[in-house]
Structure 1
Amino acid sequence: MSTLITGAAGFIGMQVAAALLRRGEAVVGIDNFTPYYSVELKRARVARLDAGFGGLFTFIDGDFGDAAALAGALAGQRIDRIVHLGAQPGVRYSLENPAAYVHSNIAGHVNILELARHRAVSHLVYASSSSVYGMRADTPFRVADRADTPISLYAATKRADELLSETYAHLFRIPLTGLRFFTVYGPWGRPDMAVWKFTEAVLQGRPIDVYNHGDMRRDFTFVDDIVNGVVLALDHPPADDHREKPGGFTTPHRLYNIGNNRSERLTDMIAIIEQACGRKAELNLLPMQAGDVYQTAADIDDIQRDLGFAPTTPISVGIPAFVDWYRTDWLSRKA
């Protein structure tokens, strides 16, 4: 079994690759090391995979947003399944550089769908986002809720990916699963995310920017739980039974929320970071940032019922684990 993982130098991609490699499966990873955040961190993730898994891991430095380059890079590579995690992330950055999101998240997603179609893969799992729900007042967010009012370009591209996937599943009967991630954090995480930024600032004695004056809530999900959910989804492709439903026929395409099933106060998260770091945070209280949402909370009933997904890591455990990794591993690499 050989699985292509896009975004293999990314936070989640590296750890999903490691999980499959530990099972003895072959992994082909692709990433183009965009400098949105530390390229050094991305290369360290790939080096960890190269060092730990020998001949099972193949890495390609390439841009899946370029169809011709993707086809050339993968020529001769066996691909049975795809985990498509590569994308241009970040709600706020999408306000500054929309073209990057169209290239990676729209054109790139179509390129991966075309690859899945022509290689006749057994399953394609792709990353969506809780951002697709927009500024909803009612929580928890359910997959059956309408998701047609995104408030950032990033969210709009992720919702577009879901609609494109539904179309490809209908036309070409490709088994597809989209996962709406909820605020993932943990070791090897992203420096642009709040847990990393706040930890770094607290340890350095710098103030942290806290939007909406701290009155925000997030469904923080530890990366180990996310990886478990991705692998569960990959191992259970949706059936294509062509059953008729009101308004048409079913497609082999599923959408799931994948979160911790708890919405935590931002101030509680900061307090745990303070305790783990042994220092108080200096807060720079700011109004709500354009494109942000007040609250996220995942209803995970569907993925629990279908796949047995059950997150096990509260922030009281996950955040100290991140702080410990940051201090003992990442800072030692930087020294």
Structure 2
Amino acid sequence: MSENIDGTLIWAGSYTADSNGHGTGIGAIAAREDGSLSWLGTAVEAPSPSFLAVHPTLPVVYAVAEAAQTVRAYRRTGPFGLEPLGDAWPAGAAACHVSVDPDGRFIVVACWGDGNVLLYGLDDDGGITSRFAAPPAKDPHAGVDGGIDIATGGIRVSRAHASLMLDDGRIMTTDLGFDLVRVWNYFPDTGLLPDHQVALPVGSGPRHLVQHPSVDAIFILTEYSVEVALLLPGADGRFVLHSCGPATAGGASDGDAAAEIALSPDNRFAYAGIRGSNRISVLAVEGRGTRLRPVADVPSGGDWPRHHLVRDGWLHVAHERSNQVTTFALDPATGIPGEVLDQLVTGSPTALVVAL
């Protein structure tokens, strides 16, 4: 954090004109100690940088460009500026998520449009140097009645959506279209090779995921069924579906589509964003991470809560359609958001990440 910035620097992804959005690129936001936010400006113009990830040790940001079907590295310049670090690299159709290896060796990109899972090697400066495509997914529910692509109503297709770097060094990815979770091992010269996979219920639509550290439990938010699937590792290291329950205390509404899931810093609560009815659902984490119990649904404070960030007792929610980031204070005992503390106007925000 620069001494010229009053608070913590947050990078904001957005949809730009090529995706019918109102953003201009990657935005820079200052988050003050009292939880309020201020807009610093556009850090760098970029085409629909809808999801961002920050290098673990370098001032480098990675952004997917959904409509352009690329991924690019950006290097920090000055207090809150960014500049391209190398050229944009080809990704896949509707590249929608990027994550970074904790050791800074590679990034992984998931592509909603064609199901591609892509690994890109990084150099010592954080620049992209190579590209490897992982083996395509196969539908574990092929031929099952009701097996249609919920996004289009047609034939089911692979729709990779997110990746998570597991604590043991493996990588887990979700496939919304095939209701599938895949686990990978990384090899420097070949990229990702399959370890095993876990099928989730037909029509659930696994989207985003987090890992609870106590028992290595994985919480997966399902976009279509609006649930949280809980995966636990067995003695052989293979994950199994332990349970699947509602993501909300009050149940899903017609038109709901779950978006982001995040843990509180102390791992006692999980927060699920629900687009459509525009809620943030609070779930208590129990049994050292082996149980989730929905405790409250709170209006998100805007339209289409696509992503949210939990930090230092505050919840910041990026509302894609109402062009704002809403901030709540979190009750330290119950984890429940209180009244809206602040509203920051910004064009079509899609992701919020703390800068290095």
Fold conserved (TM > 0.5)? no
Q: TM-score, length-normalised on structure 1?
A: 0.30
Q: Which has the higher strand share?
A: 2
Q: Which has the higher helix share?
A: 1
Task: Indicate the structure whose relative CO is greater, using CA pairs within 8 Å and at least 6 residues apart.
Answer: 1
Q: TM-score, length-normalised on structure 2?
A: 0.29
